Amino acid sequence: MRDFTEIWSYLAQGPLLWLTATLAAYAIGNACFQAAGRRPFVNPVLIAVALLAGLLWLTATPYPVYFEGAQFVHFLLGPATVALALPLWDNLGHVRRAALPLLAALLAGSTVAVVSALALAVGFGIEGEVLASLAPKSATAPVALGISASLGGSPTLTAVLVILTGIVGAICTTPLLNALGIRDWRARGFATGVAAHGIGTARAFQVHPTAGAFAGLGMGLNAVLTAFLAPLVLRLFQ
Amino acid sequence: MIPALLTLLAAQLAGETLTRLTGLPLPGPVAGMLILLAGFALWRPLVEVVRPLATTILGNLSLLFVPAGTGVVGHLDKIAAHGLGLAVVLVVSTLAAIAAGAQAFAAVAKLLGTEPET
C-alpha cells in the first residue's frame, strides 16, 4: 500500500485531483437529475456538494486544499455573471412591452425577499455572519456570493442558502401561484425568477416558454437590484 | 471563442475597476454585466460574438456553484445551531417573495388594461 500512499500524497497536493473530483461529482449529480425527470428536488448541485463533502471528510482533506483545485471552476462565476447580459438583452422587447408591471413585480418581489428573510431570521435569533449571508439569498449565486462577501457574510454559506432557496421556489411556485389564481405566464415566470433565480428559472421553462423567458429576465434584474437593496436593508436589522 | 472570452473578461475587469473607483455597493461582475449590456446597445454585432460562449457558460451555470457550495463543510455547526430558523426563513420568505411579485405584476397589468398572456 506504500505506493498508493505516495501517489495519493503527490496528487493531494496539486489542483488536478480536486478539479477532477468537482467535475465528476457534478456529472454524477446531473445524471441523477436527468434520471429523475429533471424534478427540482433532485438538485445536481446538492448531490455534488454532498458527495464532495463526504469525500473530503473520508480523506481528511481541509477545504482550502480542496479549493486549490476547485478555484478554476469557481473563478468562472465572474464571467458567468457578465454573460447574464445576453438573456437580458434578448428579453429587452418584453421589458418595453410590460415595463410598469415588471417594475412593480421586481420591486415587490425583491424587497419582500430581502426584508422578510432578514426580519424572520432576526426573530429566530440569527445574527452576524449568518444574517449577512442570508441577505442576498434570492439573487443568482454568482452575484449573491459577491454581495455576501462585501456585506461581511460567508460566501460559502450563502452558496448553500441560495441553492436551497432556488429548490424551495422551484418546488412550491406552481402550487402557490395556482392557489393564488394568477394565470398570466409573464407574472408567474417573472416572480419565480426574481425569488428563486436560476433554479426557479429552469422550473419555469419546464412549465411554459413565456414563463421561462420572463423568469430569466426576473433573475437578471433581481441580481442588479439585490446588489443595491441588500446592504441598505441589512443595515436596518444590524 | 477567444474574442468572446476576451469580451467577458474585459467587461468584468472594467466592472471591477469601476466599482472600486466609485465605491458603488455593486459586485464588480454585476457592473461588468451592465457594461456589456451597454456594449451590446452601442455595437450590435457584439451580441453574436458573445452568444455561443455565453450560452455554453449559462447552460452549465449550476456547476459553478459546486466549489462554494462544498464550503458548507465549514459551516455545519452554524447550520445545526440555526437549522429550524433557517428552514423557516427560506421557505416563508421565498413563498412570500413569489406571491408578492406575481400579485404586483398582475395588479399593475390589470390597472393598465394590458392583455394577460395565459
Which of A121, A145, A184 is closest, CB to CB, to B116? A184
Contact A195 B94 (CB under 8 A): yes
Amino acid at B96: A
How distant is the Cα of B85 from the closest Cα of chain A, in angstroms?
5
How distant is the Cα of A41 from the closest Cα of chain B, in angstroms?
14
Which of A44, A83, A180 is closest, CB to CB, to B99? A180
C-alpha cell at B41: 446597445
Looking at beta carbons, which residues of chain A come within 8 Å of B5? 79
Phi-psi sector, A125: left (phi>0), alpha (psi -120 to 50), beta: left
How distant is the Cα of A183 from the closest Cα of chain B, in angstroms?
6
> What is the phi/psi pair of residue B67, to 5°?
-60, -45
Looking at beta carbons, which residues of chain A come within 8 Å of B105? 101-102, 104-105, 184, 186-187, 190-191
Contact B100 A191 (CB under 8 A): yes
Q: pLDDT band for B75, please (50, 70, 90 cuts).
A: confident
Looking at beta carbons, which residues of chain A come within 8 Å of B25? 150, 227-228, 231
Three-class secondary structure assignment of chain A = CHHHHHHHHHHCCCCHHHHHHHHHHHHHHHHHHHHCCCCCCCCHHHHHHHHHHHHHHHCCCCHHHHHHHHHHHHHCHHHHHHHCHHHHHHCHHHHHHCHHHHHHHHHHHHHHHHHHHHHHHHHCCCCHHHHHHHCCCCCCHHHHHHHHHHCCCCHHHHHHHHHHHHHHHHHHHHHHHHHHCCCCHHHHHHHHHHHHHHHHHHHHHHHCHHHHHHHHHHHHHHHHHHHHHHHHHHHHHC
pLDDT digits (tens, 9 = 90+) for B92-117: 999 999 999 999 999 999 998 877 77
Contact A142, A78 (CB under 8 A): yes
Residue ranges of domains in chain B: 1-59, 73-118
pLDDT at A185: 92
pLDDT at A2: 62
pLDDT at B13: 97
Contact A73 B71 (CB under 8 A): no
Contact B101 A199 (CB under 8 A): no
Looking at beta carbons, which residues of chain A come within 8 Å of B36? 82, 85
Contact B71 A190 (CB under 8 A): no
pLDDT at A71: 92
> Mean pLDDT, to the nearest integer, of B45-69?
90
Looking at beta carbons, which residues of chain B come within 8 Å of A183? 116, 118
pLDDT at A97: 85
CA–CA separation, A58 vs A60, rounded Å?
6
pLDDT at A199: 85
Contact B67 A142 (CB under 8 A): no
Residue B82, SS3? coil
pLDDT tens, chain A, 238 aa long: 567 777 777 777 778 999 999 999 999 999 999 999 878 778 888 899 999 999 999 999 999 999 999 999 989 988 988 998 898 888 888 778 889 999 999 999 999 999 999 999 999 999 899 999 999 999 988 889 889 998 999 988 998 899 889 989 998 999 999 999 999 999 999 999 999 988 888 888 888 878 888 898 898 889 989 999 999 999 998 7
Contact B64 A124 (CB under 8 A): no
Looking at beta carbons, which residues of chain A come within 8 Å of B45? none
Best of B19, B46, B64 to substitute, by most chain A Cβ atoms within 10 angstroms, is: B64
Q: What is the DSSP letter of B114?
A: P
Contact A191 B112 (CB under 8 A): no
CB atoms inside a 10 Å sphere around CB A128: 12
pLDDT at A1: 53
Contact B57 A76 (CB under 8 A): yes
* Closest chain B CA to residue A225: B26
Mean pLDDT of all residues belonging to chain B: 91
